[in-house]
């Protein structure tokens, strides 16, 4: 009788372990953020949960917060999508401008999520994105290593979309749709 219960408990633990492994590999990932490049939206020490499935059914969108492994980096970073494939991105006078081509007057991106509204002009300030490239920036533009320095992000290097942030310091949750 006792052996049967121990076996059932071990089978249950094995099933839970396999389920967690499959979910973590294919559906959801999580990690603790280190650094302030996305503050005030995501702070150092926050837990972020990443949806690894939704971009299989739809393309990433402007202002999505993503986890990505850039071409030139060995670790993953968390950034916000600013430029979409095929667009022209220009940063001038502290503003990010989105254009469809060289002749387009473009539109200034309105970024209510920024604490400091100006975007410093460092690194790449004007770029035409290829059909599978995205331009990403951190919300804390003065302390962010992003597409201005790393270049555009390829679609296949995007690990997923951040859908939940847990902030241990205030025991709060922020959910993104």
The residues carrying an active-site annotation are 37, 79
Q: Taking Cα atoms as reference points, which of 136, 140, 165 lies closest to residue 32?
A: 165
Q: Which residues contact 72 (CB under 8 A, 6 or more apart)?
A: 150, 151
- The span from the first CA to the last CA of the chain, in angstroms, equals 49
DSSP for residue 157:
G
CB 51 within 8 A of CB 72: no
Query: Among candidates 126, 161, 159, 125, which has minimal Cα distance to 141?
Result: 125
Beta strands 28-32 and 47-51, pairing class: antiparallel
Distance (Å, rounded) from C-alpha 42 to C-alpha 79? 10
């Amino acid at each position: 009788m006792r052996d049967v219960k121990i076996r059932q408990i071990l089978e249950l633990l094995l099933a839970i372990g396999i389920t967690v492994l499959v979910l973590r590999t294919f559906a959801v990932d999580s990690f603790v953020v280190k650094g302030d490049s996305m503050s005030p939206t995501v702070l150092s020490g926050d837990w972020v949960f990443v949806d690894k499935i939704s971009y299989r059914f739809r393309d990433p969108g402007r202002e999505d917060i993503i986890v990505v492994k850039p071409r030139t980096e060995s670790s993953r970073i968390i950034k916000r999508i600013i430029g979409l494939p095929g667009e022209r991105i220009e940063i001038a006078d502290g503003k990010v401008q989105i254009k469809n081509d060289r002749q387009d007057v473009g539109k200034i991106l309105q970024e209510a999520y920024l604490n400091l509204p100006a975007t410093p002009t460092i690194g790449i300030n004007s770029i035409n994105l290829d059909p599978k490239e995205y331009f990403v920036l951190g919300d804390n533009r003065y302390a962010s290593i992003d597409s201005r320095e790393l270049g555009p992000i390829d679609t296949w290097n995007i690990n997923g979309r951040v859908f939940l942030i847990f902030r241990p310091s205030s025991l709060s949750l922020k959910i993104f749709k």
